[in-house]
Amino acid sequence: MSNKILIVGLGSIGKRHLKILKIIKPKAKIAILSHKEKELHKASALETFYDIDKAISFEPDSALICNPSALHLSIAKELLKNDIDLFIEKPLSNNIQEAMEFEILVNRSKILVQVGYNLRFTKSMQLIKELLDKQKIGRILSFRSEVGSYLPDWRKTGDYREQVSAKKELGGGVLLELSHEIDYLLWLFGKPAWLNANISKQSQLSIDVEDNVNLMLSFKKQNINGSLNMDFYRRDPTRNLTIIGTAGSIKWDGIKGIVSMFRPETDWNTLKTFENEINNSYEDQLLSFFNSIKEKKETLVTLADGIGTLKVIEAAKESNSLGKKVHL
């Protein structure tokens, strides 16, 4: 029923989820678990805890884990012991070994886990998945994926150097923070066969994490090859994908929500433009989470999916360290 919901962490994403919960779950009792007291929490007029045991005494049915990724699973393990269904923000963790150990505990339990990769819930990405499943551009040959923006512009308030994205100890860096791209590529194309990675810090940003990643990937399904470029320093915000097939191509503008398709007989044609879809996707993913709880069915973005993305990230780090291709 999820009549009692706990939000762990009230940073920017926690605030977003809180706002949505008040709309989609108006009768639910919502509480906050925070690592330190803030005036904002007091102003929210919600019950706020600063200790995990006291938060558990609130007896939540479900929890949204929105604190830094390095802290996700330590909290999740405690909540799991009390059969609390979990929505865990992306990335699942910054530690693949801890994530795999957590998976064992989840498989022994009765709880549901969903990982917060909201791009799967955009109407534009769902349309692309449908087009590929229906082979509208024939057999897929290759793809080009790109995402980049200027980290100091991400949030208008606060010092970017103090954000999770900028700090290695909290799970920051391009690979983890922009792992949405890895998740949707796995969703569209399946499991990679191998990858080759170049990871670096190119900008003068005051951060202790990588700000640039270039991946070459080959997927087992139909031998699909492609590239993924990610950065924290691009001044023109960009999020796009081009998929090339034997009968045509598909382009996605993830910022504008535009899906276009090229066919030799029609040239490029805009199939649809989805307005405000990013904001809507956050609501849709939570609705999907609570529906999975209600119907006791697997979530759309599973724990295994979150771990699959972490495995690609670990393989990328290994490839960069060794200077060669790594097989998955």
pLDDT at 41 over 70: no
Give the pLDDT of residue 152.
Answer: 92
**143 part of a folded domain:** yes
Give the pLDDT of residue 43.
Answer: 45
Instruction: Say yes or no: 31 and 53 in one domain.
Output: yes
Type of residue numbered 262: F
Q: Which of 44, 100, 91, 43 is nearest to 71 (CA)?
A: 91
pLDDT at 38 over 90: no
Phi, psi of 17 (to 5 degrees): -65, -40
Instruction: Say yes or no: 40 and 138 in one domain.
Output: no
Instruction: Say yes or no: 81 and 168 in one domain.
Output: no
Give the pLDDT of residue 2.
Answer: 62
Q: Which of 117, 144, 148, 147 is nearest to 251 (CA)?
A: 144
Handedness of CA 112, 32, 287, 97 (dihedral sign): negative
Helices (H) and strands (E) in the chain, counts: 10, 15
- Tokens standing for residue 148: 């980049």
Each residue's pLDDT tens digit, 191-206: 999 999 999 999 999 9
Type of residue numbered 20: I
Strands (E), the chain: 4-8, 29-33, 47-49, 62-65, 85-89, 113-116, 140-150, 192-200, 212-219, 224-231, 233-245, 249-253, 258-263, 267-273, 326-327
Give the pLDDT of residue 222.
Answer: 80
Give the pLDDT of residue 44.
Answer: 57
**73 part of a folded domain:** yes
Q: How confident is the model at residue 42 (pLDDT cuts 50, 70, 90)?
A: low
Instruction: Say yes or no: 36 and 47 in one domain.
Output: yes
Give the pLDDT of residue 160.
Answer: 85
Round to the nearest angstrom and report the end-to-end CA distance of the chain: 39
**34 part of a folded domain:** yes
With a CB cutoff of 8 Å and minimum separation 6, the contacts of 276 are 257
- How many Å apart are CA 199 and CA 186, to the nearest integer? 20
Q: The domain spanning residue 227 has which CATH number?
A: 3.30.360.10
Instruction: Say yes or no: 131 and 231 in one domain.
Output: yes
With a CB cutoff of 8 Å and minimum separation 6, the contacts of 100 are 307
**294 part of a folded domain:** no
Instruction: Say yes or no: 153 and 94 in one domain.
Output: no
- How many Å apart are CA 84 and CA 59, to the nearest integer? 9
Instruction: Kindly list the distances between the CA atom of residue 73 and the CA atoms of 19, 113, 117, 122, 132, in Å, as whole numbers in the listed order.
Output: 24, 12, 17, 26, 34
SS (H, E, C) 71-133: HHHHHHHHHHCCCCEEEEECCCCCCHHHHHHHHHHHHCCCCCEEEECHHHHCHHHHHHHHHHH
Instruction: Say yes or no: 160 and 256 in one domain.
Output: yes
Give the pLDDT of residue 19.
Answer: 96
Q: The domain spanning residue 11 has which CATH number?
A: 3.40.50.720
Q: How confident is the model at residue 39 (pLDDT cuts 50, 70, 90)?
A: very low
- Tokens standing for residue 138: 């024939």
pLDDT at 174 over 50: yes
**183 part of a folded domain:** yes
Instruction: Say yes or no: 105 and 165 in one domain.
Output: no
**203 part of a folded domain:** yes
Instruction: Say yes or no: 226 and 82 in one domain.
Output: no
With a CB cutoff of 8 Å and minimum separation 6, the contacts of 69 are 89, 90, 91, 92, 93, 94, 164, 170, 171, 176
Instruction: Say yes or no: 166 and 246 in one domain.
Output: yes
pLDDT at 138 over 90: yes
Instruction: Say yes or no: 90 and 185 in one domain.
Output: no
Instruction: Say yes or no: 134 and 82 in one domain.
Output: no
> How many folded domains does the chain comprise?
2
**Cβ–Cβ < 8 Å for 32, 54:** no
pLDDT cut 70: percent of the chain above it: 96
Each residue's pLDDT tens digit, 260-292: 999 999 999 999 999 999 999 999 999 999 999
Mean pLDDT of 224-233: 97
Give the pLDDT of residue 141.
Answer: 97
**292 part of a folded domain:** no
Mean pLDDT of 61-74: 96
Q: Which of these ranges, 41-55, 76-90, 112-126, 295-309, has the smallest mean pLDDT?
A: 41-55
Which structural domain, as residue segments, surrounds residue 274? Answer: 119-278+309-327
**298 part of a folded domain:** no
pLDDT at 3 over 70: yes
Give the pLDDT of residue 221.
Answer: 78
pLDDT at 316 over 90: yes
